[in-house]
């Protein structure tokens, strides 16, 4: 009888919490009071009793934090806690909400304890999943292999015995992270619906551009100021989650917190590896892949006998807008190991050639456990190999599919993301200092250990300001970002020149400056290009023998990363008539990069 009474009491108090959460939007004081009430409930109840909170009140808490409506179908204007913090510029309230949602607080500690006992399961709405996943779930055959194709859905896709459909079942941690990842996607879609109506990109040939020059005298068009993402709160939460759940083994500062922050013993490393894997794949598929009509490696699909005919369904759809800021942090964090290794004056080298590394995420996970991979110091190669293809296609689809008659703001954010990725030597180990400082205000933060490690890294000196030979392996493994993608960008520049001349000029100059700023980088580019176009394996003055081993991988990447694209996708650009089926950046022919750049300069 007593356990039953305790259960009834916890349910009653959870209902009271639900009412408090639903009415917590009137003032900062009520939000703070609600945070206190939630933490008080979780601290005073046992793990079994906490089930009531996560069953009754937690979904509504997610609604309030992110501003989703009651059925999670959209965002309410200025109704979320994030919006209110931004509007009020209330740093005290921001810290209070951050402490509630941080991975170091009572809420997440309770989440972990509830998940360890498998007390609560949620069904995530299919219509809020990445678009390619939504289409996969419509086919029973595809659902059967989805877990093999995408580790994110391993043991999470279940059949509804009543409806006969398939659904995604998640524990509390996973459910929250899915909504957390969906927030900027939903925000971008909401902003798009309130902006100008975007029409399908029309054919816009080079011969028409000269007639658009009189319009350019009217000045440079700019995007009206949009709403910033959570006034920094969302970015700070993202960094805290990455820091806690995706330990960066290239920077020792991240590792000491694993057991203490999550309250796990060393014997729970398996669960930690799963959380790390889940976090990375969630952000990749919600942000980078989402509506990509070729979401998976071609070889992976062939190996499982799966055909993904998303081209006809998703078509020429650009990625969701407004993801530049969050993707910048995500990609920089995963790549920060490169900077750390450079600080130790080590030559950055990856295991094997890009061909051996450019396997799918499936191969990566099957080869050995994630934790073993990360523990052996391979995080640099592992993270980079996971994000290469989706990041390349994300940037490429933005350049190709951004409609002519839309604003250039989103493309500018994606351009900045690309520049950051191809210029890692400009990164600094101190670029996360402000975020580290904010996280340090959390009561459960082990600040002394963090500061000690950061000081150690700082003593090693600042990041190199330019390309050096230590970055050779990085450039070789990401060669298409420096060659093929440049060609696509120049086509984009042709397409948008009439829209924002000043912005396009600055972009082009930035890319040219990166590619020409270092003699070593220029020589490396020329040698790889010569090896790529060499008709025989006989060495020439420009071909270095050991670069030939990269050619098969680069060819495979070029076919795979640009899978499904055709010349119609280059509508409005020089590439419409000269599709980039080969590496032509350094070619001086009529379809080469020099000619494309010369035509663009003539238009300037």
Q: Distance (Å, rounded) from C-alpha 262 to C-alpha 260?
A: 6
Residues 245-267 have pLDDT tens digits of 987 654 333 333 333 344 444 44
Q: Is 322 left (phi over 0), alpha (psi -120 to 50) or beta?
A: left
Report the pLDDT value the prediction gives residue 222, as an integer from 0 to 100: 36
Give pTM, 2 decimals: 0.83
Q: Distance (Å, rounded) from C-alpha 211 to C-alpha 489?
A: 22
Report the pLDDT value the prediction gives residue 258, as an integer from 0 to 100: 38
Q: Is the pLDDT of residue 380 over 80?
A: no
The arithmetic mean of pLDDT across residues 266-290, rounded, is: 84
Strand order across the 166-170 sheet: 122-124, 166-170, 157-159
The arithmetic mean of pLDDT across residues 58-82, rounded, is: 78
The structural domains of the chain, with segments of one domain joined by +, span: 1-115, 233-248+269-344+382-443+468-603
Question: How are the residues of the chain apportioned to helix, strand and coil, as percentages rounded to the nearest 5?
Answer: 65, 0, 35
Structural tokens at position 534: 């060499």
Please tell me what DSSP assigns to residue 190: H
- Orientation angle between helical segments 172-194 and 269-283, nearest 10 degrees: 10
Mean pLDDT lowest for which of 140-144, 360-364, 556-560, 575-579? 360-364
Report the pLDDT value the prediction gives residue 191, as an integer from 0 to 100: 61
What residues does 124 pair with on adjacent strands? 168
Report the pLDDT value the prediction gives residue 564, as an integer from 0 to 100: 82
Q: Tell me the pLDDT band of 474, cut-offs 50, 70 and 90.
A: very high
Q: Distance (Å, rounded) from C-alpha 127 to C-alpha 189?
A: 14
Q: Is the pLDDT of residue 479 over 70?
A: yes
335 neighbors 418 (Cβ within 8 angstroms):
no
Report the pLDDT value the prediction gives residue 236, as an integer from 0 to 100: 95
Report the pLDDT value the prediction gives residue 348, as an integer from 0 to 100: 46
Report the pLDDT value the prediction gives residue 521, as an integer from 0 to 100: 96
The arithmetic mean of pLDDT across residues 216-222, rounded, is: 31
Q: Distance (Å, rounded) from C-alpha 158 to C-alpha 131?
A: 18
Q: Distance (Å, rounded) from C-alpha 398 to C-alpha 417?
A: 12
Neighbours of 499 (CB within 10 A): 20
Q: Is the pLDDT of residue 292 over 80?
A: yes
What residues does 122 pair with on adjacent strands? 170
Structural tokens at position 118: 């498998």
Q: How many angstroms separate the Cα of 415 from the Cα of each of 234, 395, 571?
A: 22, 8, 19
Q: Which of 270, 282, 280 is nearest to 372 (CA)?
A: 270
Report the pLDDT value the prediction gives residue 440, as an integer from 0 to 100: 79
Structural tokens at position 342: 């450079």
Q: How many angstroms separate the Cα of 143 from the Cα of each of 137, 159, 244, 290?
A: 6, 9, 31, 17
Please tell me what DSSP assigns to residue 403: -
Report the pLDDT value the prediction gives residue 266, as an integer from 0 to 100: 45
Structural tokens at position 361: 């995420």
Q: Distance (Å, rounded) from C-alpha 298 to C-alpha 292?
A: 13
Report the pLDDT value the prediction gives residue 76, as an integer from 0 to 100: 57
547 neighbors 475 (Cβ within 8 angstroms):
no
Question: Could you give the 3-state DSSP secondary structure of residue 546?
Answer: helix
The arithmetic mean of pLDDT across residues 504-513, rounded, is: 93
Residues 439-465 have pLDDT tens digits of 875 444 433 434 444 444 344 444 457
Q: Which of 260, 13, 281 is nearest to 112 (CA)?
A: 260
Q: Tell me the pLDDT band of 270, cut-offs 50, 70 and 90.
A: low
The arithmetic mean of pLDDT across residues 498-514, rounded, is: 90
Structural tokens at position 443: 């009561």
Better pLDDT: 59 or 204: 59
Please tell me what DSSP assigns to residue 285: I
Q: Distance (Å, rounded) from C-alpha 338 to C-alpha 348?
A: 7
Report the pLDDT value the prediction gives residue 367, as an integer from 0 to 100: 34
Task: State what percent of residues in the chain have pLDDT above 70.
Answer: 69
Residues 156-213 have pLDDT tens digits of 999 887 887 899 999 999 999 999 999 999 887 766 554 433 333 333 333 332 222 2
Mean pLDDT lowest for which of 13-22, 66-75, 248-257, 536-545? 248-257
Better pLDDT: 350 or 20: 20
Q: Tell me the pLDDT band of 31, cut-offs 50, 70 and 90.
A: very high
The arithmetic mean of pLDDT across residues 379-398, rounded, is: 86
């Amino acid at each position: 009888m007593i356990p039953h009474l305790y259960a009834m009491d916890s349910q009653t108090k959870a209902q009271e919490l639900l009412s408090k959460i639903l009415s917590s939007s009137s003032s900062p004081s009520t939000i703070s009071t609600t945070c206190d009430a939630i933490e008080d409930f979780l601290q005073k109840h046992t793990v079994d009793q906490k089930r009531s909170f996560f069953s009754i009140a937690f979904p509504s808490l997610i609604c309030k934090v992110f501003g989703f409506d009651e059925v999670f179908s959209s965002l309410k204007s200025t109704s979320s806690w994030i919006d209110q913090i931004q509007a009020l510029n209330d740093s005290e309230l921001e810290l209070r909400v951050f402490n509630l949602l941080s991975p170091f607080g009572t809420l997440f500690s309770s989440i972990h304890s509830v998940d360890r006992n498998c007390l609560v399961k949620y069904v995530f709405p299919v219509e809020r999943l990445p678009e390619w996943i939504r289409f996969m779930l419509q086919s029973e055959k595809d659902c059967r292999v989805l877990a093999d194709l995408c580790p994110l859905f391993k043991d999470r896709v279940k059949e509804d015995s009543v409806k006969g459909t398939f659904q995604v079942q998640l524990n509390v941690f996973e459910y929250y992270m899915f909504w957390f990842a969906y927030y900027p996607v939903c925000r971008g879609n909401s902003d798009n619906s309130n902006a100008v109506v975007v029409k399908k990109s029309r054919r816009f040939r080079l011969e028409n551009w000269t007639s658009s020059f009189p319009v350019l005298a009217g000045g440079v068009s700019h995007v009206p100021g949009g709403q910033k993402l959570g006034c920094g709160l969302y970015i700070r939460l993202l960094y805290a989650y990455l820091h806690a759940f995706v330990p960066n083994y290239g920077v020792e500062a991240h590792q000491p917190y694993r057991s203490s922050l999550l309250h796990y013993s060393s014997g729970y490393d398996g669960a930690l590896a799963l959380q790390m894997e889940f976090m990375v794949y969630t952000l990749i598929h919600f942000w980078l892949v989402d509506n990509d009509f070729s979401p998976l490696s071609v070889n992976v699909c062939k190996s499982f006998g799966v055909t993904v005919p998303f081209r006809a369904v998703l078509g020429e759809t650009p990625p969701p807008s407004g993801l530049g800021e969050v993707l910048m942090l995500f990609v920089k964090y995963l790549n920060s190991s490169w900077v750390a290794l450079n600080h130790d004056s080590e030559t950055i080298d990856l295991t094997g050639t890009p061909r051996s590394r450019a396997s799918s995420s499936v191969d990566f996970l099957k080869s050995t456990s994630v934790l073993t991979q990360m523990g052996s110091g391979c995080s640099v190669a592992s993270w980079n190999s996971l994000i290469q293809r989706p990041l390349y296609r994300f940037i490429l689809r933005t350049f190709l599919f951004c409609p002519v008659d839309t604003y250039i703001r989103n493309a500018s954010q994606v351009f900045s993301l690309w520049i950051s990725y191809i210029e890692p030597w400009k990164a600094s180990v101190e670029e996360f200092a402000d975020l580290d400082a904010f996280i340090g205000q959390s009561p459960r933060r082990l600040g002394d250990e963090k500061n000690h490690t950061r000081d150690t890294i700082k003593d090693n000196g600042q990041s190199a300001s330019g390309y050096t030979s230590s970055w050779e392996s990085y450039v070789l493994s990401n060669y298409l970002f420096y060659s093929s993608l440049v060609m696509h960008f120049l086509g984009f520049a042709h397409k948008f020149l009439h829209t924002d001349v000043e912005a396009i000029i600055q972009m082009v100059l930035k890319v040219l400056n990166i590619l020409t700023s270092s003699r070593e980088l220029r020589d490396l580019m020329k040698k790889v290009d010569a090896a790529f176009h060499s008709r025989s394996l006989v060495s020439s003055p420009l071909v270095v023998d050991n670069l030939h081993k990269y050619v098969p991988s680069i060819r495979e990447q070029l076919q795979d990363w640009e899978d499904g694209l055709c010349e119609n996708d280059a509508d409005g650009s020089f590439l419409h008539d000269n599709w980039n089926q080969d590496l032509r950046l350094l070619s001086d022919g009529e379809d080469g990069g020099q000619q494309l750049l010369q035509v663009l300069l003539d238009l300037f």
